[in-house]
Amino acid sequence: MSDKATNPTDAPLYPIREVSRLTGVNSVTLRAWERRYGLIQPQRTPKGHRLYARDDIERIEQILQWLNRGVPVSQVRELLDQPQAVETPEPAAGDWPSQRQQLIAALEAYDLSRLDSLFNQCMALYPLATCLNELFKPIVETLEEHWSEQLGATLQQRTLESFLRTRVGTRLYHANLINQGATLMIGRLPDDQSNLWELLIALAASQAGYRVQLYDAALPINELPLAVERLKINALLLCSGQAERAELMRRQLPRLADQLDIVLGLCGPVARIRAAELTDTQVAVLGDDPLQAITRLTPLIRQ
């Protein structure tokens, strides 16, 4: 634990909003780490507002390193408090497989209150990037494999879509009020009857500071230039968990990319499946990983 007595009296102190910006960890998660697990102990102003020293920020970065290696948040403090001279053991795989199974079991049982509790717990305790990588993306991939051969798959899929759409939509609404980044329009391609991939991409984009315009249904290809113009969009991202039609991939999307003055990006499994066919086009193939897709998009927008 950082020792506040060792900090110079003139050392800078940071409010929670600035610490959240510097580390990428939202304020709700920082408070949960403090109150539930004692991982950090910020100073307080006379009015009770949290102030973080540079040591606290470094400790938060160490926490993130352990979480990204799969260590459950409940075990991080023990590792942080070990003397630095002691060789710290490699962490186990963590409890992510268990959390994924719990979420899938809640969905299969249509236990929405349990699903909500697990979702909120994950979002409160872990950075969004970790939740996407370790929980949401693997769950979507696992479920999509089973849905093709499972009775009741459509009901399960629609239940998960409805659940996530409500929660992601709420996050996007509030984030759009404060985010200062470019405006992205995110939609899905015609053959994908699910909005799960665009929801994951939207979460990653919002976390990166972009303002997000999300469409639940696929817009006609010939109306996308009008949407870009009227809504003042800075980049258009199209997603799909399907291979999509060859005509769309080989002709319509490249033609659309040539018409637009902004980036046209392709995300989700379709980007992996069709990457070779789009090599010599203006379509930016961003990949099927939501966080990596947004990382690859950023320099393209700046250009």
In this prediction, residue 146 carries a pLDDT of: 80
Q: Are 31 and 45 in contact (CB under 8 A)?
A: no
Which of 22, 54, 80 delimits the end of a domain?
Answer: 80
Q: What is the CATH number of the domain that holds 10?
A: 1.10.1660.10
The CATH number given to whatever domain includes residue 215 is 3.40.50.280
- 201-219 as b/e: b if 16+ CB within 10 A: bbbbbbbbebbbbbeeebb
Q: Are residues 193 and 274 in the same domain?
A: yes
Dist. CA 222–CA 219, nearest whole Å: 8
Clarify whether residues 149 and 271 are in a common domain. yes
Which residue type sits at 247? Answer: E
Residue 201 lies in a domain: yes
64/173 same-domain check: no
CB–CB of 226/175 below 8 Å?
no
Note down pLDDT in tens along the chain; length 303 residues.
Answer: 444 444 555 678 999 999 988 888 888 899 999 988 899 999 999 999 999 999 999 999 888 888 877 778 888 888 887 755 344 444 444 578 888 999 999 999 999 999 999 999 898 889 888 899 999 999 999 998 888 667 778 999 999 999 999 999 999 999 999 999 999 999 999 999 889 999 999 999 999 999 999 988 889 999 999 999 999 999 999 999 999 999 999 999 999 999 999 999 999 999 999 999 999 999 999 999 999 999 999 999 975
State the alpha helices, DSSP H only, in 148-289: 153-178, 196-207, 224-230, 246-247, 253-259, 269-273
pLDDT of residue 193: 87
Q: Which residues pair with 239 in a beta bridge?
A: 188, 267
* Domain identity same for 112 and 74: no
Residues 117 and 209 in one domain: yes
Unique residue bearing structure tokens 């409160």 = 124
Rounded-to-integer distance, Cα 207 and Cα 272, Å = 23
Mean residue pLDDT across the chain: 88
Query: pLDDT value at position 303?
Result: 58
Sign, Cα dihedral of 197, 31, 49, 1: negative
Contact 293, 287 (CB under 8 A): yes
Q: Is residue 280 part of a domain?
A: yes
Residue 205 lies in a domain: yes
- What is the C-alpha separation between 98 and 231, in angstroms, rounded? 42
C-alpha distance from residue 96 to each of 70, 91, 99, 101, 121 (Å)? 7, 13, 5, 8, 13
Range of the domain at 40: 4-80
Q: What confidence score (pLDDT) does residue 84 get?
A: 53
pTM: 0.77
Number of domains the chain is built from: 2
Distance of alpha carbon 23 from alpha carbon 42, whole angstroms = 15
Q: What pLDDT sits at residue 6?
A: 44
Amino acid identity for residue 52 in this structure: Y
How far apart are the C-alpha atoms of 146 and 157, rounded to whole Å? 11
Instruction: Tell me which of 50, 80, 110 is where a domain ends.
Output: 80
Residue 9 included in any domain: yes
Q: Give every CB contact of residue 272 below 8 A, 6+ residues apart in sequence.
A: 287, 288
Q: Give which of 296, 288, 298, 294 is closest to 192, Cα–Cα.
A: 288
| Domain assignment present for 86 | no
Task: Give the tens place of pLDDT for each residue, 16-67.
Answer: 999 988 888 888 899 999 988 899 999 999 999 999 999 999 999 888 888 8
**Per-residue pLDDT at 77:** 86
CA triple 192-195-199, angle to 5 deg: 140
**pLDDT for position 91:** 42
